[in-house]
Amino acid sequence: MGRVTTRVRITRLTGQQCAAWPDTLAVEEPLEIRVAGRPLAVTMRTPGADVELAQGFLLTEGFITDRSDVATVRYCNSRAAEGTNTYNVLDVDLAPGVTPPETGFERNFYTTSSCGVCGKASLEAITQRTRHHPSADTTVVTSAVLTQLPDTLRAAQKVFESTGGLHAAGLFTPQGELLVIREDIGRHNAVDKVIGWAVERQRIPLFGNVLLVSGRASFELVQKAVMAGVPILAAVSAPSSLAVDLARDSGLTLVGFLRAGTMNVYTHQDRIAPVA
């Protein structure tokens, strides 16, 4: 397993003062995801929970629907000529009968830490049809519970505490219990790791849960939530217009600017119960 953080020497300037200083950085390394030995995607991520990341990615891209679709996930040599393993290549074998993804030009894409859908051929290729549609989910969460979630998430961000450079995603019960948190240099990776955690524990679909992200709510994050069956997605920052459109059409409750006791509910407000 690769390192999550690394130490570097920097020059710190404070007014007229200049001094050498140690600093802690979040590690960013590529992860190549293969299916049956064939390269599918490369994402820039923070090492850790890589098996969850791969399974979450495959589910949110529509290649699998639950853990039974996966036979094995294993690291493989990324420097085969040297016989060494950098833990930056994962190979996934799908279960018998599961159709493998196409690995032609359209499906062989590169994702960065800022954009999880870069390289997709078209907007139509992004929109996936989920088997875990959240529209029928009747989960209700009080506004009082929701407003407490960002503080709970922030308190659990251990790597962010030392680096200040990671996004986080957390899965909560309607009562505000934190089930899992994952941090990553890429916000889409943090979400995939949370969803992969649920895949590994056979908790898909994620009906009856709240997904909270530490940044903005982009189209890709809404798509991932819908693919996993999440009924409520909340973000501490703003959503995009396309994210709102997809949430509305998919039956997902989208909350933005969840901070300091307030929030904006953009879609399907019936799942949020105001508390006087």
Structural domain boundaries enclosing 253: 134-273
Average the pLDDT over 73-97 and give the result: 82
In a domain, 140, yes or no: yes
Residue 50 has pLDDT above 70, yes or no: yes
| pLDDT range class, residue 172, cuts 50, 70, 90 | very high
Which candidate in 18, 76, 115, 118 is catalytic? 115
Q: Is 76 annotated as catalytic?
A: no
| pLDDT range class, residue 79, cuts 50, 70, 90 | low
| Domain final residue pick, 124, 153, 180 | 124
| Domain final residue pick, 67, 92, 124 | 124
| pLDDT range class, residue 25, cuts 50, 70, 90 | confident
Q: What is the pLDDT of residue 81?
A: 56
- 43 and 170 fall within a common domain: no
In a domain, 13, yes or no: no
CA dihedral 67, 74, 57, 217 (to 10 degrees): 110
* Helices H / strands E in the chain, number of each: 7, 15
Residue 83 has pLDDT above 80, yes or no: no
Residue 201 CA to residue 70 CA, distance in Å, equals 12
Q: What is the pLDDT of residue 106?
A: 43
| pLDDT range class, residue 113, cuts 50, 70, 90 | low
Average confidence score pLDDT of the chain: 88
Comparing CA positions, the residue from 232, 128, 220 lying closest to residue 170 is: 232
CA atoms within 13 A on the CB side of 179: 18
- 61 and 82 fall within a common domain: yes
Residue 114 CA to residue 210 CA, distance in Å, equals 23
187 and 174 in contact (C-beta within 8 Å)? no
Comparing CA positions, the residue from 211, 220, 269 lying closest to residue 246 is: 220
Number of domains observed in the structure of the chain: 2
Residue 75 has pLDDT above 50, yes or no: yes
- 138 and 262 fall within a common domain: yes
Q: Which residue has the higher pLDDT, 106 or 194?
A: 194
Residue 238 has pLDDT above 80, yes or no: yes
| pLDDT range class, residue 131, cuts 50, 70, 90 | confident
User: Can you give the CATH number for the domain in which 210 is found?
Assistant: 3.40.140.10
User: Can you give the CATH number for the domain in which 41 is found?
Assistant: 3.10.20.10
- 49 and 165 fall within a common domain: no
68 and 97 in contact (C-beta within 8 Å)? no
| Domain final residue pick, 60, 92, 124 | 124
Residue 193 CA to residue 180 CA, distance in Å, equals 10
Query: With pLDDT > 70 as the criterion, what percentage of the chain qualifies?
Result: 86
Cα 65 vs. chain centroid, distance in angstroms?
16
Residue 118 CA to residue 218 CA, distance in Å, equals 13
- 36 and 167 fall within a common domain: no
pTM: 0.89
Average the pLDDT over 178-198 and give the result: 97
In a domain, 202, yes or no: yes
- 115 and 145 fall within a common domain: no
In a domain, 195, yes or no: yes
- 117 and 158 fall within a common domain: no
- 106 and 179 fall within a common domain: no
Comparing CA positions, the residue from 202, 239, 200, 199 lying closest to residue 222 is: 239
In a domain, 5, yes or no: no
